[in-house]
Amino acid sequence: MKKNLISFCLMLLPLSAMAQAESVFDRLFAQAENFAKSFPREKVHLHFDNTSYYQGDTIWFKAYVVTADDNKPSAISRPLYVDLLDQLGNIVDQQIVKIENGTGEGQISLVGRYFTGYYEVRAYTKWMLATDNAQYFTRTFPVYRKRIAGEEARSIAHYHMDKSMKQRPVEKVKKITARFFPEGGRLVKGLTSVVGIETLSEEEGWVNVSGYLLSEKGERTLPISTIHDGMGTFLYTPGERPAQVEIEYKGESHKFTLPAAEPEGMVIGATMRNDEIDVKISHSTGAGKNDVALFIFSQGTPLTYVPVDFGTATSKQIRIPFQTLPEGVLRLALIDADGHTLADRFCYMRHTENDMKFSTTTNAKTYRPFQKVECQLRLTDNQGNPIPNAEVSVAVRDGAETDYAEFDNTIETDLLLTSELRGYINRPGYYFADNSLRRRRLLDNLMLIRGWRKYDLDTEFGLKTFKPKYLPETQLTLYGHVKSMFRGTQRDLGVSILANGEKIKISSTTETDSLGDFSIPLENFEGDMEALIQTRKEGKKYNRMSDVMLFRSFQPEARILDAHETSPVWDEPVDTTAFAKAIDDGKEYVPDEDVQMIDEVTVKAKRKKQFAQKRTEAFERDIIAYYDIRQIVDKLRDDGVATANDFGYILHLTNNKIDRAGDNYGTVPMRYSIDGRTMERFFFNTYIDAIEKALLYTERSGLQSYRFDNETYRATNERSMTYWDNSYNEGINPDNDSVNYANLDKPYVRCDVTMRRGFNPNKNYKPTKGIRYTVIQGYTRPAEFYSPLYPGEIPVEAYDDARRTLYWNPRMTTDENGEIKIGCYNNRESTFLNVNAETIVDGQPVSTTYISFGGK
């Protein structure tokens, strides 16, 4: 490709310029090419079974890990880290997925998640975090309150959390803000440039507005507007002083000053034509004498360069044909002979003629409760030829209950578009919906404004030394360090590990190196394992007085959530009136001969109280904070900080509103409990290594929520502590026999503690020098998705079947006809299907979302 493109472009240059330019820029091109080969990049995409979840659900996912330059399966990394973060940015779960042949799968349980909200799932390999501008996969999902019969279907609580809880960074935006992005990254006096504009409001996020470019005298000279998701462009020729832009927003006028222009320099402009990129490079009077070249990069890899010889002209035009360029984000960089970047511009290259596609058929448009579902997908190339042996991940969803967003994220948008851009991109599929002139213009605006620089080009050209923060992980390994509280680094010290899993026990030994570091391979581990890491000098009987630190705090910092992520707007994929009529008419459902429908079912079960939702909301308002104590203690020890056997002090370190002893939250007294059983605080000092989590909330009703001799005491503000499980406090008696009834209506702060699985109060959990108790994590063991069968008489328990994902399979393979056949059963509600499938074939990502009612 390099030779063809160079030959085409060099025909535009004098021969004298060719010889000089090639001798200077060949070396830079070779350096950048060698850098790209030495440090190849990875990308990841996760395909999920659904678009939103309830407390108690399971998030099922398939991971695709590829090399960035060709979207082929990556062999660089084996472990893939998948984090679940709550809305505040706390990591509440982490899975480690084993990647083989570029794919892997896993699941994240939402059982026992205390909080509703907008949860973020992010995925990365360590190698993806090796640069300062770490790039990783991220997706946000609503997690709704657990469904309560007869109550609101979808709701998210509003909490009043203590500031000690980790807080996500928040972008400070004025009532209306405008940001400007000169094409090429700079403005030069007297040279006309395209300027991108992005407008955001404090209340709505990105907003489309209109206004004017003002002259130096403040006169309106050019109408401007943002036309999609707060983005637009306008032409601007800088003068001696920066111009201003006037914007009208909600009846008020706001003025913003453009960036200052440089007195001398070069600017670059790119226009996407029907079959070529038209690049224009212009320079000021004193800036056209030095040698420069236009470099073209794709996914960090240099494709070619074109020497630019201005001669006596002040501008140069270069045309680059589409057929010579790969699909995806391209970077056009203007480089001088020293390797410095003078200007750069991002463009998107799209080849619709190569598109593969899915076609989908189902055995009905709408489905009655428990009806059998039959679905067939067919994958073909652009000529209609079948694609056999393609591995496909497929989700069949209850379309009526699935949150649907048109133009949502897909494997194409993630791997080809959003992974190369800055910040959150709202509904990226919009830019791929068609190849019209308007759509291409909006996509080009996106490139101009959201262009993201993965690497400093000075580094790629060898002007700066690149030292990656992490090396690729070809296997899962635990790294650590041993230090003595007296002698510092401990070299040649024996390190042994004993780990107990559900089904296996593992032991391993190693030694520290000259720096006191050690490593333990975990490649054959699965799940979480309680572990004991012990240090001992060879020939010595006793453990060393040393601390064991573990290097496992490499996760990215929590990012800012966009307003569109925390206030999503869902679309109706079908005509709801027509769908309701189709269900009423019953035309679409013919029961199988072997299915027997029951006319009437009486379910004998405890009916939830009508005020359950109100009690839940009251409890949520009283929550103060939630701490993962094991994570906090492990992090302190991983960093070499000594942790005392004092639970109150650990809480104080986490939240300074709690006094040193742990007796008071501010001026409010604190009380402690385990699973509802009141305990004295000092009880926990013996079991620091057995504490999992702590939930702090305001207890406004004293002891009224506990049972004493089968009699329940209640105050006027009745509320159940048992928000997740109505039987939570059944049979629990507090240790104290006497109750001060006068204090029943006085609020206090309850610290409810969850102990580790298998907790034994007769066991010693105190930390010991030279011995480190912790939990080590192996690979996630993929579970099998359960899809019930209803071939005969419908069992009574089926009427609790509220699955929104009817079928999930991360590994289906197309047959010789390019087809996949799926069979499953509907849940208890009438619905239509939302069928979602994704795959990668020979580096080309493909996806589909099919709506059975209407055939979308």
User: What is the secondary structure of 146-173 as a DSSP string?
Assistant: PP-TTS-SS--------TTS--------
pLDDT score of 606: 41
What residues contact 772, with CB distance under 8 A and at least 6 apart?
A: 532, 533, 534, 547, 548, 550, 637
Provide the percentage of residues in the chain whose pLDDT is more than 90.
65
| Three-state DSSP class for residue 582 | helix
Residue 141 pLDDT exceeds 60: yes
Task: List the one residue out of 201, 488, 462, 446 whose CA is nearest residue 345.
Answer: 446
Give the helix/strand (H/E) hosting 4.
helix 2-10
pLDDT tens, residue by residue, 816-844:
999 999 999 999 999 999 999 999 999 99
**Residues 377-385, mean pLDDT to the nearest whole number:** 96
Distance of CA 80 to the CA centre of its chain: 13
Q: Is the dihedral of CA 644, 646, 651, 652 positive or negative?
A: negative
pLDDT tens, residue by residue, 191-237:
999 999 999 998 888 999 999 999 988 999 999 999 999 999 999 99
**Residues 745-768, mean pLDDT to the nearest whole number:** 83
Residue 434 pLDDT exceeds 80: yes
**Residues 564-580, mean pLDDT to the nearest whole number:** 93
pLDDT mean across residues, the chain = 86
Kindly report the length of the chain.
Answer: 856
Please state the pTM of the whole predicted model. Answer: 0.89
Task: List the one residue out of 232, 180, 227, 171 whose CA is nearest residue 202.
Answer: 171
Q: Is the dihedral of CA 688, 694, 697, 703 positive or negative?
A: negative
Burial class (CB in 10 A: 0-12, 13-18, 19+), 49: buried
- What is the chain's Cα-based Rg? 31
Q: Are 486 and 558 in contact (CB under 8 A)?
A: no
Q: Are 723 and 609 in contact (CB under 8 A)?
A: no
Range of lowest pLDDT (65-69, 393-397, 471-475, 774-778): 774-778
Distances, alpha carbon 179 to alpha carbons 597, 605, 617, in Å: 61, 59, 40
Q: Give the count of beta carbons closer than 10 Å to the beta carbon of residue 786.
A: 8
Tokens of 190: 């007297």
Backbone angles phi, psi at 844, to 5 degrees: -105, 115
The confidence band for 603, taking pLDDT boundaries of 50, 70 and 90, is very low
Residue 107 pLDDT exceeds 60: yes
pLDDT score of 454: 53
Candidate ranges 153-162, 657-666, 714-723; pick with highest mean pLDDT: 657-666
pLDDT tens, residue by residue, 662-717:
999 999 999 999 977 889 998 898 888 899 999 999 887 544 333 223 333 233 23
Backbone angles phi, psi at 634, to 5 degrees: -60, -40
pLDDT tens, residue by residue, 448-464:
999 866 557 999 999 99
DSSP character string of 641-686: ----S-HHHHHHHH-TTB-TTS-EETTEEEEEEETTEEE-GGGGGG
Provide the percentage of residues in the chain whose pLDDT is more than 70.
86
**Residues 270-298, mean pLDDT to the nearest whole number:** 92
